[in-house]
Amino acid sequence: MAEIGVHLTHELGFHQMDITGSPRGLLAAHPVAPLVSLHHLGTLRPLFPSTNRLDSVKKLVKAYEKDPSRAVQQTLCCDLNRNWSFSVSMGYSVQLYPWLMNAKELGLPMQTFKIWLGSKEPFTFDTRPNYLDPCKRPIEFYLDQVIGHQNGETFTSYRTFIGHDSNSNKKLCENQKYKSTLTIHMVNVTAPILSLLVWRQVPRRQCCEVIDVIGGVLNMKIRSCNQWEAVTVPFHDNYKVSEYS
């Protein structure tokens, strides 16, 4: 391109995917930018567990078609009553941490991937460890279905998959506080369709909140943040960070 005088534009939503392994760490912590493209998926594991590469791409595209601007946009929130933290990648996955984490940590991709030469680094961005210890790993839920409503909202549901990652020892954490989260097998997320015009403004992460937990199903809502509302945890004396963080 340089030979013909055309400069490349750096676009955060354009993913060359020059990596091997699982891309779930990247897709679960997407930057605040529209998803433009994914390349070299043939060198990666399927985007979703228990599916092949083609079906997993079709599944992601289906969610994208319902709300293109919000596809894989990361939303962060916490439940201070239970000391839980959440990272929602809309149309892809939900990560539940049975402890409180700040937004800076949650915004870093878990290193579920390596460079093509097999090394774990270097990368041009920061990552966080993909721990083998089950007590340091989040409970992960992956897209099950997506429904578009006539009221301008989308409804997505996510089911849990335990031990699907080859880096996992497939053992469950025996800590009592952690085990309480294992009763949740599905997360439902409702969100208003995000206008394409949002990318012409100064974009920011939206906020989310836990509505209720009924019979192993956790219901959440994504919304615009209120004035002065932050997406990180208010670390007051009343809220203790778990020993796992």
Position 205 in a domain: yes
91 contacts 143 by C-beta, under 8 angstroms: yes
- The pLDDT, as a whole number, for residue 167 is 42
Position 1 in a domain: no
- The pLDDT, as a whole number, for residue 169 is 43
- The pLDDT, as a whole number, for residue 61 is 93
Q: Are strands 74-79 and 19-21 parallel, antiparallel or unpaired?
A: unpaired
98 prior amide bond cis, ω within 30:
no
- The pLDDT, as a whole number, for residue 1 is 44
Position 20 in a domain: yes
E strands in the chain: 14-15, 19-21, 37-38, 74-79, 84-89, 93-97, 113-115, 139-148, 153-160, 186-192, 207-214, 217-223
155 contacts 149 by C-beta, under 8 angstroms: yes
Q: Checking phi first, is residue 25 left (phi over 0); if not, alpha (psi -120 to 50) or beta?
A: alpha
Position 115 in a domain: yes
**Token code pair at residue 203:** 């974009």
Please report, for the domain that includes residue 80, its CATH number.
2.70.130.10
Position 244 in a domain: no
Looking at the 3D structure of the chain, how many domains does it have? Answer: 1
Phi first, then psi, for residue 131 (nearest 5°) are -65, 145
- The pLDDT, as a whole number, for residue 28 is 92
Q: Longest Cα pair distance anywhere in the chain, in angstroms? A: 62
Q: Are strands 19-21 and 113-115 parallel, antiparallel or unpaired?
A: antiparallel
Sign of the dihedral through C-alpha 131, 108, 87, 36: negative
Q: Are strands 139-148 and 113-115 parallel, antiparallel or unpaired?
A: unpaired
- The pLDDT, as a whole number, for residue 96 is 95
Domain region containing 138: 13-223
**Token code pair at residue 197:** 């015009």
* Ranges of the chain with pLDDT below 70: 1-18, 117-124, 162-170, 233-245
- The pLDDT, as a whole number, for residue 32 is 82
Read off the amino acid at residue 35: L
- The pLDDT, as a whole number, for residue 159 is 95
- Give counts: helices (H), strands (E), the chain: 4, 12
Position 121 in a domain: yes
Position 184 in a domain: yes
Position 203 in a domain: yes
- The pLDDT, as a whole number, for residue 15 is 54
- The pLDDT, as a whole number, for residue 95 is 95
- C-alpha 99: how far from chain center: 17
Residue 182 neighbours by CB under 8 Å, 6+ apart: 139, 172
- The pLDDT, as a whole number, for residue 234 is 67
The C-alpha torsion from 14 through 20 and 26 to 31, rounded to 10°, is -30
